[in-house]
Chains A and B, each alone.
Chain A
Amino acid sequence: MRRAIPALLLLASAMPAWAEGNNLGPDSETFYINMRVPPLCGIGAIVGEDGEFDVGILTEAETGLLRRGLSAPSRRLQASFCNSPSELRVEAVLMTPTTSSRPAPRGFSRGVHFTATVSGWTSDPAIFETDVAGEQARSVQRQPAAQLADLFVSVSDFRTAGGATLLPVASSRYEGQVIVTLGPIP
């Protein structure tokens, strides 16, 4: 009989938790935890600069034509991330005067085109040219792995809309846009 008691206790421990009677021994239960981490991307904050690309005075005083070598420092978007395969897209809108909407007279232009480039995410940078109509294959780049990296956004190759011989009309502010989109591959 003495030997039977431990065997009975062992049996009790194997019984389910809802079993009637006193539970006298160790118990073991299994819970299943299901969590989902959704694909997520974030564009990092700009380091050390504001978010505007200020190109300054666009024209030469003597000729009134667009200055050659126009530039603005590139912007670094620190610690941008995607926790899944991702797609980087860049788009841009040409610079136009914000102070006047009058149409450009003969010999003049109301637009300055440029090229926007985002590098640091993929081996080939994403590039968008504001004077190219329709889809631009180079403007979308795919990264197959999750990644944490800095993005670098730059603007370059400014050119007068309509041709280099046209004179940009006067305006205290010309404004264009660079739009950067970073997202999971759908």
Chain B
Amino acid sequence: MKRIAILIFALSATPLLAQGTGVPEGGAQEDYPVIGSVPDNCQLGEPIFSSENPPVNVQTLTGRIVTIDELMDRDTLSTQATSVELAFAGFCNFPHRIVVESDNNGLFRQSAGNSVATGFANAVPYSAELRWADETIRLDADALTRRQVRGAANFTDPVAGSLLLRLQIQPGATNVTTEAPLLAGEYRDVIRITVGPQ
């Protein structure tokens, strides 16, 4: 089982056995099995920016930390459009399941005391889309309540290739109303991708 957590972080706002040929008269034949095993194994490498979809409003990927450049649009004081697609080289050599989870159901402002001034937003919704083989797992973190949310899918065959995680934030999206101004502070969420047995 392989589990990977992505931190999204913003400032400002995973025999056929055959017979040998015949034995001649007076001859002898013996068979010797050759055996081994291949254990169940899933691995996901470190993420890189996908070459297919260049990031928007994201320049920094430090290990597994995605840093959004400017979460707030300085003109609207609300959320700025952001998208990033991460690629993980990986494989799972047996029938498996992938679970993608969000800790907070959105990018939530981290600060002591949760008082929110009327008219302001303290969380930003986003969508996460995970693509593996021919399947897509979608997770909508709507930021309406702060809770864990998850999406999952089973895969009946082994898969090897790139696991793609696409995160998208719509312009003006907040947990209050569209275009609501964002309270200053640090916003974050943790996304967990778990690849393991069904």
Contact = CB atoms under 8 A, between A and B. Distances in A.
Interface of A: 38-43, 51-59, 61-64, 70, 72, 75, 77, 87, 89, 91-98, 102, 104-108, 112, 114, 153, 155, 167-184, 186
A171 B39 CA distance: 6
Contacts of A63: 43
B162 to A, nearest CB: 11
Interface residues of B, number: 35
Given A174-B38, A183-B24, 7 more contacts: A41-B27, A58-B36, A58-B37, A61-B43, A169-B94, A173-B37, A182-B28
Contacts of B39: 57, 59, 61, 170
A104 B32 CA distance: 26
23 contacts: A38-B25, A41-B27, A59-B38, A59-B41, A61-B43, A91-B20, A105-B157, A107-B91, A167-B93, A167-B158, A169-B158, A170-B38, A173-B37, A175-B15, A175-B17, A176-B35, A177-B31, A179-B20, A180-B29, A180-B32, A181-B20, A181-B21, A182-B28
B121 to A, nearest CB: 44
Interface of B: 15-21, 23-41, 43, 91, 93-94, 157-161
B38 A58 contact: yes
A46 to B, nearest CB: 8
Contact of B93 (A72, A102, A170): A170
B33 A177 contact: yes
A64 B32 contact: no
Nearest to A158: B36
Contacts of B93: 59, 64, 108, 167-170
Given A108-B160, A155-B34, A177-B33, A170 B17 contact: no
A93 B158 contact: no
A172 B30 CA distance: 25
A93 B17 contact: yes
Given A64-B41, A183-B24, A173 B35 contact: yes
Given A108-B160, A167-B91, A178 B38 contact: no
Contacts of A43: 28-30
Nearest to A106: B160
User: Considering the complex of A and B, which 7 residue pairs feature the smallest CB-CB distances, nearest first?
Assistant: A183-B27, A179-B20, A107-B160, A183-B24, A170-B94, A55-B36, A175-B15
A62 B44 CA distance: 9
A183 B157 CA distance: 46
A177 B15 contact: yes
A179 B65 CA distance: 56
B43 A98 contact: no
Contacts of B28: 41-43, 181-183
Given A170-B93, A176-B34, A178-B32, A184 B26 contact: yes
Contacts of A105: 157-160
A173 B38 CA distance: 7
A102 B24 contact: no
Contacts of A177: 15, 17-18, 31-34
Contact of B32 (A38, A52, A108): A52
Contacts of B19: 179
Contacts of B37: 56-58, 171-174
Contacts of B94: 169-170
Contacts of B33: 51-53, 175-177
A170 B94 CA distance: 6
Given A64-B41, A167-B160, A174-B15, A181 B35 contact: no
